[in-house]
Structure 1
Amino acid sequence: MQSAYIGLVADAMASRSLKPVAMPPPPIILVTDHSTTPPTATRYTFDRNDIDFSLAYRRIKSLLTHPPCPHHPQYLWPCDACESAFTAKYWTCAATLLDYFADFHSIDTPLMQSIWFYLLDIWQESAHILPYETVLDETIEHSVALIGRARARDFEKAVRDTITLFEVTVWGRRTEADSWDQVIYDPRGEAMCPVGEYDTGPWASGVKPWNQFLGEGGMGVAAPWSAAASTSTSQDNTNGDRDGDGGRDGEHEKTITRYIPHPAIALIEGHTARSRLLANSFYTKQKLTPPQYNAALADWEAHTVVLPSKRSQPHTYTSRFTGRETTYTLSNGAPPIMRYEGLGDPQLELAVPDGDWNLMDECVASCRGVTAYVGVSGGDEDEEDEDMMDSEDELVPFDLWTVVEKGIGGGGRGEVLDLGGTGGMFETWYAEE
């Protein structure tokens, strides 16, 4: 009887050319706490997808302190109970992250996006609670090891497949032309490139490669010990001047550390050489006397970036733009960042595949007669580096400059920069505190 009724209704709708009305999709709701600065999201809701941010944050962070299996040695796969206890939490966290990136990432604030990428990197790092790499590298041949190796292989594949799913969820399906661009990085800094495997120190997912180095603190490289020692916490410089005569009350010394990577040093070297040629040409056309010509070139050289060739020779100057004391030193990551020497296709014999920008850059540079920048990090004053180079003949250091800015700051974001006669162009440019 009920089916006959449904059939009659369907026939009536068809005869009257009636179409069911499409329901609008449910709204995406972000609950935001504005009592904090900057505001943070506390809950995400879209249809049946409901994420409590504080609960998800605590659950994912707890992966870092998950205890290893106390019943089996670290070179063997954990027992069933310990494995299940970890994987249940691990894959639950993966599901929460996927739910966020699928529905909320594209409309979230940059702050919350960065926090969720931070949680994603924690999830990636926590995979090593199960020692799958150690188990797969071991050569022990007995039943327990063989079973563990099979489970380790399955777990590794599941992790890789999930990261690929994250890539598609965040970026979308990509063609071969843009497959070179990367969204998610191995936090340990291990990456495969067209010319081999690179070990570039810690990386943060969701941040473009150049920003990994140039951002404050240098996420793309572990700080060398010398830089770490020189960038201690901010020191208070109060001098007891309570009546304001010296203007120093409440001010403190602000230290900012950044890193300039190998490719950026190559650009600086190229621009410096070109500007030197332009200066020579300009002063020659001025018909200066030899003393005037030499004085003009000497003044130009005094304001030129000096490319350091040894690690223990810092260069210091006072910035005309910020008034801050700036010191830069040739350094290298800790652990040292290594790269393969030479070009990927020096004879220009390979057909450049779509998206292989590394070989494309080399080809264009070779055709234009531009020589490659040669790294100088491996100074002979460091015996440890010599040992490293002897053991890895095919690897050469990845040059890095550690740039430390020091200056007096106080009063937050209201410190206007003195830009040395640049007019009103940057009159609304404020220093970050």
Structure 2
Amino acid sequence: MEVPMIRIDNWDHESPVTLYYHSGTKELNFKAVYVNIKKIGQHPGRGSLETVRGTDGGEALQLKECDDAFLTKFSRCLARLLEYFLNIYDLDTPLNNATWYHLVDVLLKAALELPHRFYLPHQPSCSHAKGFNTKFERTLDLINSMVTGDKKGGPGRLIHHNGELTANVVTDGSSFKSGLTVWEQFLTRGSPGMSEASGSQRHIPMGGLAILQRHTERIRDIAQKYTESEDYEKDHTMPKEEFMARLDNVSFKLGEESEGLEPVRTSSILRTPGFNDPAKLLQAPERSDLDERLGSMRGVEPIQQPTEEFEILRVKEE
């Protein structure tokens, strides 16, 4: 018989916080895991790189390797995360799931701050860096495959690392939150889709529009049922049709069409065909010109827009 999982919650808060997970003889102490992971970035045995002045008056990087105590504690923190996502994740509440995803992000941030960039030839790194980072990256991929069922780590992945653990990459995925798919990152606070509007135009992904439309339809359905109930006649003297019309007037609208004498069209990219400066005569080239020069040196043809239009999804607030 399968041993049930027992949660011990603290109900002193508006939303209960799970303190312990029990399953047979196994116990996972959430508070201890939380404190250990939160403090791992300040562990005295963590490695570091410091800039020191050399005997010739110049500056050099001095490496302090991670000690065994730090490496052991980091491994234990990672093991606790793996234990949770393997045995408890599917049985836990969404709020608790989100908290454990946050701990994944905290541990990843601590790992990226270590002197473990073994792939940079001119930067000192710990002797254990490659093995440490490879093990950590594979564990994150394993957790992702357990919660999503996707071993290849496609667009639906929920555990994010941008590859900086084992390769020199230029993309920055540090702002991604674990527990959210790539497109859902667009809906988090501070993202282009959810930040404070600086003008009348908002950029929202199609998934975000679908969520807004679904909730709008749900609210309208509830309002329709309310107007047909006895409670409505007790609470309002307004005709039902006017009540619904007012709701529709302030509700989110998607898919409406409008006509005008000056139609709104997408504009093409302001870029000349081919290379912008093929003769390399510009005295103060922009970044795009620098890219073109590097491309021409490598024998790469200039990138052309496939059509005359450059389309982007946007929502205009009026």
The TM-score range, normalised by the shorter chain, is: 0.5 to 0.7
Distance (whole Å) between structure 2 residues aligned to residue 180 and residue 129 of structure 1: 26
Letter aligned with residue 108 of structure 1: D
Q: Which has the higher strand share?
A: 1
Deviation at 1:48? 3.3
**TM-score, normalised to structure 2's length?**
0.56
* Counterpart in the other structure of 1:154: 131
* Counterpart in the other structure of 2:6: 29
Distance (whole Å) between structure 1 residues aligned to residue 313 and residue 42 of structure 2: 33
* Counterpart in the other structure of 1:204: 177
Deviation at 1:70? 7.8
Question: CA separation of 1:70/1:130 partners in 2, compared to 1, >3 Å: closer, same or farther?
Answer: closer
Q: Does 1:78 align with 2:51?
A: no
Contact 2:193 2:204 (8 Å CA) reproduced: no
Distance (whole Å) between structure 2 residues aligned to residue 115 and residue 150 of structure 1: 33
Contact 2:188 2:194 (8 Å CA) reproduced: no
Deviation at 1:46? 1.5
Instruction: Map 1:3-402 to 2 at 5 A.
Output: 24-67=1-44, 73=50, 75=61, 77-79=63-65, 82-133=66-117, 135-139=118-122, 148=125, 150-172=127-149, 174=151, 179-186=154-161, 198-199=171-172, 202-218=175-191, 260=203, 276=257, 279-280=258-259, 297=260, 387-392=286-291
Deviation at 1:161? 1.6
The superposition leaves residues 315-355 of structure 1 with CA deviations (integer Å, 9 ceiling, x where unpaired) of: xxxxxxxxxxxxxxxxxxxxxxxxxxxxxxxxxxxxxxxxx
* Counterpart in the other structure of 2:56: none
Deviation at 1:190? 7.4
Question: CA separation of 1:137/1:54 partners in 2, compared to 1, >3 Å: closer, same or farther?
Answer: same
Letter aligned with residue 131 of structure 1: P
**TM-score, normalised to structure 1's length?**
0.43
Contact 1:202 1:221 (8 Å CA) reproduced: no
Distance (whole Å) between structure 2 residues aligned to residue 264 and residue 88 of structure 1: 42
Deviation at 1:87? 1.1
Distance (whole Å) between structure 2 residues aligned to residue 104 and residue 152 of structure 1: 30
Q: Secondary structure, in 3 states, of the residue corresponding to 1:137?
A: coil
Distance (whole Å) between structure 2 residues aligned to residue 189 and residue 38 of structure 1: 35
**Per chain length, whose mean CA-contact separation is higher, i.e. which structure has more relative contact order (CA < 8 Å, sep 6+)?**
1
Question: CA separation of 1:180/1:95 partners in 2, compared to 1, >3 Å: closer, same or farther?
Answer: same
Deviation at 1:171? 2.6
Identity %: 23
Contact 2:102 2:178 (8 Å CA) reproduced: yes
Deviation at 1:216? 3.8
Deviation at 1:43? 0.9
Instruction: Map 1:397-412 to 2 at 5 A.
Output: none
Instruction: Map 1:403-422 to 2 at 5 A.
Output: none
Contact 2:20 2:27 (8 Å CA) reproduced: yes
Distance (whole Å) between structure 2 residues aligned to residue 130 and residue 48 of structure 1: 35
Deviation at 1:76? 5.6
Contact 1:49 1:99 (8 Å CA) reproduced: no
Distance (whole Å) between structure 2 residues aligned to residue 92 and residue 36 of structure 1: 29
Count of aligned pairs between the two proteins: 232
Distance (whole Å) between structure 2 residues aligned to residue 89 and residue 168 of structure 1: 24
Indicate the RMSD between aligned Cα atoms, in angstroms. Answer: 4.9
Deviation at 1:101? 0.7
Contact 2:155 2:181 (8 Å CA) reproduced: no
Q: Secondary structure, in 3 states, of the residue corresponding to 1:43?
A: strand
* Counterpart in the other structure of 2:232: none
Deviation at 1:199? 3.9
For structure 1, the residue ranges without an aligned partner over 5 or more in a row are 1-23, 231-257, 281-296, 308-370, 377-385, 405-433
The superposition leaves residues 184-241 of structure 1 with CA deviations (integer Å, 9 ceiling, x where unpaired) of: 112x7979xxxx97546611011122321123443x8997xxx69x8xxxxxxxxxxx
Distance (whole Å) between structure 2 residues aligned to residue 190 and residue 153 of structure 1: 12
Deviation at 1:95? 0.6
Distance (whole Å) between structure 1 residues aligned to residue 82 and residue 35 of structure 2: 17
Distance (whole Å) between structure 1 residues aligned to residue 170 and residue 48 of structure 2: 35
